[in-house]
Structure 1
Amino acid sequence: MLEHFFQCPYCWEEISMLLDTSVSNQTYVEDCEVCCNPIEIHPQFEENELIGFEAIDIEQ
């Protein structure tokens, strides 16, 4: 597991999330721990190293 910090696309607060490095390409939805809005998360890993990360506002 890898702790990753990023800005919420709704409230712009910095939040942290634990990411599973064993799956190379992931997509899932998590609620912001500050404002509770849903965020679509897209982490990408190569050899257990984070190579890409997107946190998208799904209510656009």
Structure 2
Amino acid sequence: MKLINKSISCPHCGHNQHIEIDTSGNDQEYYQDCKICCNPIHFRTQLDRVHQKLTVFVDSDDEQYY
């Protein structure tokens, strides 16, 4: 298992926070509560192993932030 640390901004309250993403699997989609406001954050991750690039999409289900 390989974990990568990313900094994201909560789509609900706007606070920055650090998250850990497990890159040992394929693309992922999951929800995690904001550490500040406790609202659910929708995460989608796409891992491009050829170019060694991880893209993280964060939204509140009604808008998408990149």
Gaps of 5+ in 2: none
TM-score between the two structures when normalised by the length of structure 1: 0.85
CA distance in 2: counterparts of 1:14 and 1:44, whole angstroms: 21
CA distance in 2: counterparts of 1:22 and 1:46, whole angstroms: 12
Gaps of 5+ in 1: none
CA contact (8 A) 1:30 1:40 kept: yes
Q: Taking CA–CA contacts closer than 8 Å with sequence separation of 6 or more, which of the two structures ends up with the larger relative contact order?
A: 1
User: Percent of aligned pairs with the same residue?
Assistant: 29
Of 49, 53, 57, which residue of structure 1 is paired with 2:56?
A: 53
CA distance in 2: counterparts of 1:37 and 1:27, whole angstroms: 17
Equivalent residue runs for 1:19-30 within 5 Å: 19-30=21-32
1:6 maps to 8
TM-score between the two structures when normalised by the length of structure 2: 0.78
Q: Which has the larger radius of gyration?
A: 2
CA-atom RMSD in angstroms: 1.3
CA contact (8 A) 1:31 1:37 kept: yes
Of 32, 40, 43, which residue of structure 1 is paired with 2:45?
A: 43
Give runs of ≥4 in structure 1 deviating > 4 Å.
Answer: none
